[in-house]
Chain A
Amino acid sequence: MPTLWEYIFGALFFSFCIIGMYRAEKRGEQKMKTIPACNGIPEGIQRSVEMGRPVLFEFGSIALNLYSQYIGPALGILNEVAKESARLGAHLITISFDPPSTAIMEEIVKNNYILYGRTMEEMDNRYVAGTDRGFTVATLAILEREKPGAHFLMGTTSYDAVIVCQAAADIGAFQVAGAIQTFQLPVMSVICDYVLIGEEFAVAGSVFSNKLGQLGTIVGHDWAKAVLVGLLILGAILAQFGLKIVMS
């Protein structure tokens, strides 16, 4: 069973997000800081269209059933990539590691293509391999043969992040990556043009949607962060006096 503190903080953080959501909808406006990587996504797609090269989107070599908490936020980003690609007439290639991801990608891309009057024949959703090595090689092959102008790696990956991001950089692709696993972040930070780190990755989909309810939850999330930072400072001060109540 969870501890008392888990109940309290669980209830508090959920409440913050719900209050933030309704507050934003009631007020009718919600200001939001710009995330540079979010601006980078349309920029990359526009660049690809100008160069006459395709756009490549992938979740990395991860299975949906094992890492759904990482793929969930990436769906909002795929929605934006599909929307911009459909609007600008870009050739969007989506590749997936497992069949359920293929089905989800197809659904998102199809809905956006319908919205912008693109035909279903223009969709290019590919299931490439079910193993991390096969997936890495297939991605390398697409990068080398089709030379995408923009590469979006959203999700979490293992060693293949180094190989794929470096290969994409070698062909001059504009890259935006999003990751949670911190051991891939240094590599992505130096290779990619923009990186969505941690919470930026979790909220990017909402920032793109620009809907008040979605933006409001981000405000609630910031209040939760403020509470945690306050507790951290309080704990550090109390620890100096030998009181470990916050730490425990």
Chain B
Amino acid sequence: MSFVRSFIPKIVLSAIIVITILSYFLGIVPLSNGVSIVNQYVIIMIAFSLPLGVINLVGRNIKNIQNKRQDWLLDIAMLVSLTVMTVLGIFFGVTNTIYLWLYNNVNIPVGAMVMALTGLYIASAAYRSFRVRNLEGSLLLVSAIIIMLWNAPIGAALFPPILPIGNWFNNYPLTTGNRVIFIGFALGVISLCVRYIFFRENITGEST
């Protein structure tokens, strides 16, 4: 791998991390301004990278249609949808009647349908998780029943002591577990930053 592709990204990343950390801890105005500028660059770069994604998407779909791969008609539908929404949005604005009609009557209901799928898959996942096969499975089942009864209004009506039990579960085991994971990850990110700063991490995927 060339010097430019392997070493320059590491120098840039290391410099940005150092500047960001120093601007947080030292509060020096020029450094803080530098961090703001870098953040603006990120937004601009992401905006510029959108065509890259579109080229990838269109190129792959055209190839699928040319080769008549499985479900290639859906690729045509995708390309037509992409073209129609892009043309309407760019040339007639996002407040255009047709654009809004398509957005409100196609995009939103389809999106809601995808969200609704979660319910079906949760039922399937719940069946998988609530089978009592070992000690961990049993603990998970007991915890899930307590939390479900604590959250459902019928739980307190059927068994009033569930409220203090549920509160205890929420305030102690749940909060403790969450904090342990987050603190562990935060320390992991510190070690990651150190590896980036000292050029010990491979950021471009070189394996040697």
Contacts and interface: CB of A to CB of B under 8 A. Distances in A.
Interface in A159-209: 159, 162-163, 165-167, 169-170, 180, 182, 185-187, 190-191, 197-199, 201-203, 205-206, 209
Secondary structure of the A contact surface, majority rule: helix
Nearest to B69: A145
B191 A203 contact: yes
A186 B189 contact: no
A69 interface: yes
Contact of B121 (A76, A100, A111, A163): A163
Interface stretch (B89-97, B109-117, B158-166): B109-117
Contact of A213 (B53, B184, B198): B198
B205 interface: yes
Interface in A1-27: 1-2, 6-7, 10, 13-14, 17-18, 21
A112 B201 CA distance: 15
B98 interface: no
Given A103-B49, A159-B115, A213-B195, A202 B188 contact: yes
B205 A1 contact: no
Given A163-B121, A225-B187, A76 B56 contact: no
12 contacts: A7-B25, A72-B192, A75-B205, A83-B207, A102-B56, A111-B205, A127-B56, A159-B115, A166-B124, A203-B188, A213-B198, A213-B200
A2 B25 contact: yes
Interface of A: 1-2, 6-7, 10, 13-14, 17-18, 21, 64-65, 69, 72-73, 75-76, 78-79, 82-83, 96, 98-100, 102-103, 107-112, 115, 125-128, 130-131, 133, 136-137, 145, 159, 162-163, 165-167, 169-170, 180, 182, 185-187, 190-191, 197-199, 201-203, 205-206, 209, 211, 213-214, 217-218, 220-221, 224-225, 228
Contacts of A169: 128
Contacts of B140: 186, 190
Contact of A182 (B49, B50, B110, B181): B181
Given A10-B25, A217-B191, A225 B184 contact: yes
Contact of B52 (A102, A165, A197, A199): A102
A133 B110 contact: yes
B195 A217 contact: yes
B152 interface: no
Interface centre among B42, B51, B56 (most CB of A within 10 A): B56
Interface residues of B, number: 59
B117 to A, nearest CB: 5
A76 B181 contact: no
Contact of A201 (B1, B185, B201, B207): B185
Contacts of B157: none
Max count, chain A CB within 10 A of own CB: residue among B110, B140, B202: B202
Contact of B125 (A13, A187, A214): A187
Interface in B37-70: 42-43, 45-46, 49-54, 56-57, 60, 70
A79 B205 contact: yes
Contacts of B184: 198-199, 202, 225
Contacts of B201: 76, 205-206, 214
A13 B25 CA distance: 14
Nearest to B180: A198
Given A162-B125, A163-B117, A190-B129, A108 B53 contact: no
Nearest to B119: A162
B105 interface: no
A108 to B, nearest CB: 3
Contacts of B110: 133
